[in-house]
Structures are given as structure tokens and as C-alpha cells.
């Protein structure tokens, strides 16, 4: 069965209906695709840091991560959120297995920008055998984006970046579930959604500021995952789980990202 990585954004995590989890279980049971889940957790990390009076800042959508911040990010994502998602799948009789990128060195990483953002990593390797093992046993892997660095070092990875690396390593489609209908732009005071974007479009939109903050790692990882025969990745609004089925049926929903435009989309 074809695998598909679903990244659940922190922006939408607490609002996703039960039907979302049921849909993913159905896709697996019907043999449509074998879901692999990677989640984020930005807003809940923010909340926990605030409660502890710990400041944190972002550079191009990435959280500058001190040791103190890393401990909180790990607690929130590998603990609270990861187990909550596993529980939600189990509530629908799904066989979910939660693990972080540290477990079994599933996600291996090195510090990004020579450590200028602190303990923020970029993925160097994905130990896909752990994912394949879970899938082979009929499970749904649920992965938290804290990665193993050198030795005992752990690194904070943006959820989109982690999901893109997992999709790339598995050679499968990446479906980014977020709180927006897709990549938006205001033109002549009207908000429009871009249904198809290429690498060139995206870089121009980042340069002009149309794409900013958390959308930057999202579009970049969506494009970076397009290797080994995977032609497109997609950004969808998770509040309407029907969007996933519509997308899989070829309907025009969300934003599809491709290396280059194909003829019928011009
Ligand atoms: N061009 C854009 N279109 C839509 N959203 C954008 C755009 N540029 C920046 N954003 C912001 O990116 C956010 C999604 O990224 P993020 O908050 O990291 O989501 P998630 O937690 O789902 O990964 C949107 O809520 C919006 O504030
Ligand atoms: C390095 C880095 O920025 N890590 C992110 C990980 C969570 C994340 O990516 O959550 P979203 O899905 O909500 O974007 C952070 O600390 O917020």
C-alpha cells in the first residue's frame, strides 16, 4: 500500500474533529494509503513557555531553542501532544504507536545555521526501518519532531521540516494539515487562494513577504520532499476532513506544490 505522511499542524491540533482520525483509519483499512503521522505543537509550546515565564523568539518561522526551551518543547510535543493524538486514534479503535524522533534515533539531525538558532536541527537521516516495522504490524506511527543529535544531544525540529524529511525518506506524498485553506494572497482587496504553486512562485512570495512566519518552513519542506517520483505535496485545511477525500479524488482544494507547473494547471 502507498504510504502518505500527514503532518498535523499545532495550529489545528486542538480543533480537529474525531472524524479526522476516523478518516485516516478508514484510508488505511480500505487500502487507499498507509498514513504516517508527524505533528507539531507551536501554540501549546508557546503557552507552556509563557506559564513558566520563559521567553522565546522565532527566526523565519523557527523557534530559537535554548536548553531550557528544548526541555519544554520535548515535554509538550513528545509527552502531552503525542500521547493525546495516540489516544484520539485509539478512541476510534485505531492502532496508533507514538514515538519521538529521538526513539531509536528515528530522526537524526545536526544543528542548523552552525547552531545560530541554538538547539534547532536539520534532518540528516530518517531511520525508516522503525516506521516500516510499525506499518508492517498494522500500526499508525505518530511522530513527534524532536530529533537525536550527536551523542545525547536532542534537537528541536520544525514539524513541517520533520514531516518533509520523513516523506522524502519514505518516497511518499506529504499532506500538510493546517488552519488555513491553503497559501493565500490579497489581490485587489480580495483574498485569494493559490491552488497550484511551483518552487519559483514560492521563493518570489517569500521574498515579497506574501509568505511569512510558519508558512515559510511549510512551503519549503513541501517542495524539498518532492524527490524520487513524488510529484506533488499539498497544504489542506484540517477543519474540513472532507478536503482530504476531495484532494485524493482530484478535486481542487488546498494548495498543491510542484517543482514545475504541469500543462493543465497553467
Ligand atoms: N501566504 C500565506 N497564506 C496563508 N497563511 C500564511 C501565509 N503566510 C503566512 N501564513 C501564516 O502561516 C500560518 C500557518 O503556519 P503555522 O502557524 O506554522 O501552522 P501549523 O501550526 O499548522 O504548522 C497561518 O496561520 C498564517 O498565519
Ligand atoms: C524549530 C521549531 O521551530 N520547532 C517548532 C516545533 C513545533 C512546530 O513545528 O509546530 P507547528 O506545527 O505548530 O508549526 C517549535 O518549537 O515551535
Write out the chain's pLDDT in tens, 266 residues.
Answer: 999 999 999 999 999 999 999 999 999 999 999 999 999 999 999 999 999 999 999 998 899 999 999 999 999 999 999 999 999 999 999 999 999 999 999 999 999 988 889 999 999 999 999 999 999 999 999 999 999 999 999 999 999 999 999 999 999 999 999 999 999 999 888 899 999 999 999 999 999 999 999 899 999 999 999 987 788 999 999 988 899 999 999 999 999 999 887 655 44
Contact between 235 and 222 under an 8 Å Cβ cutoff? The reply is yes
Report the distance separating Cα 139 and Cα 134, nearest Å. Answer: 5
* Distance from Cα 125 to the centre of ligand 2, integer Å: 19
Give the predicted TM-score (pTM) of the model. Answer: 0.95
* Distance from Cα 266 to the centre of ligand 1, integer Å: 25
148: helix, coil or strand? strand
* Distance from Cα 213 to the centre of ligand 1, integer Å: 7
154 annotated as belonging to a binding site for a ligand: no
Atom of ligand 2 nearest to the CA of 145: 6
Q: Is 156 in the pocket of ligand 2 (CB under 6 A)?
A: yes
40 annotated as belonging to a binding site for a ligand: no
Q: Are strands 96-101 and 183-187 parallel, antiparallel or unpaired?
A: unpaired
Residue in 6, 10, 11, 203 to alter for ligand 1 test, most ligand atoms within 8 A of Cβ:
11
258 annotated as belonging to a binding site for a ligand: no
- Closest ligand, as measured to the CA of 69: 2
Work out the number of other CB atoms within 10 angstroms of the CB of residue 147: 30
ipTM: 0.97
Hey, which bits of 9-132 come out as E strands?
A: 34-39, 58-59, 62-63, 96-101, 107-111, 121-126
| CA-proximal residue: ligand 1, atom 17 (nearest) | 214
Amino acid at each position: 500500500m502507498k504510504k502518505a505522511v500527514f503532518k498535523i499542524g499545532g495550529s489545528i491540533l486542538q480543533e480537529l474533529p474525531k472524524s479526522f482520525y476516523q478518516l485516516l483509519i478508514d484510508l488505511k483499512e480500505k487500502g487507499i494509503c498507509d498514513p504516517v503521522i508527524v505533528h507539531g505543537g507551536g501554540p501549546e509550546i508557546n503557552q507552556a513557555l509563557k506559564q513558566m515565564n520563559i521567553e522565546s523568539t522565532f527566526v523565519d518561522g523557527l523557534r530559537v531553542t535554548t536548553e531550557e526551551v528544548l526541555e519544554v518543547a520535548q515535554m509538550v510535543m513528545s509527552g502531552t501532544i503525542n500521547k493525546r493524538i495516540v489516544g484520539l486514534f485509539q478512541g476510534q479503535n485505531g492502532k496508533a504507536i507514538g514515538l519521538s524522533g529521538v526513539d531509536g534515533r528515528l530522526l537524526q539531525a545536526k544543528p542548523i545555521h552552525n547552531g545560530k538558532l541554538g538547539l534547532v536541527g536539520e534532518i540528516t537521516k530518517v531511520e525508516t526501518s522503525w516506521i516500516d516495522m510499525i506499518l508492517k504490524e498494522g500500526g499508525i506511527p505518530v511522530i513527534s519532531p524532536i530529533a537525536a543529535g550527536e551523542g545525547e544531544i536532542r534537537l528541536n525540529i520544525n514539524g513541517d521540516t520533520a514531516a518533509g524529511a520523513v516523506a522524502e525518506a519514505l518516497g511518499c506524498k506529504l499532506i500538510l494539515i493546517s488552519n488555513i485553506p491553503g497559501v493565500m494572497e490579497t489581490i485587489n482587496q480580495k483574498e485569494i487562494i493559490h491552488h497550484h504553486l511551483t518552487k519559483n512562485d514560492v521563493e518570489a512570495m517569500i521574498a515579497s513577504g506574501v509568505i511569512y512566519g510558519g508558512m515559510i518552513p511549510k512551503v519549503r519542506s513541501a517542495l524539498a520532499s518532492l524527490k524520487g517520483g513524488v510529484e506533488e505535496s499539498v497544504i489542506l485545511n484540517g477543519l474540513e476532513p472532507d478536503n482530504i477525500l476531495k484532494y485524493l479524488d482530484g478535486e481542487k482544494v488546498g494548495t498543491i506544490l510542484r517543482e514545475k507547473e504541469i500543462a493543465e494547471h497553467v
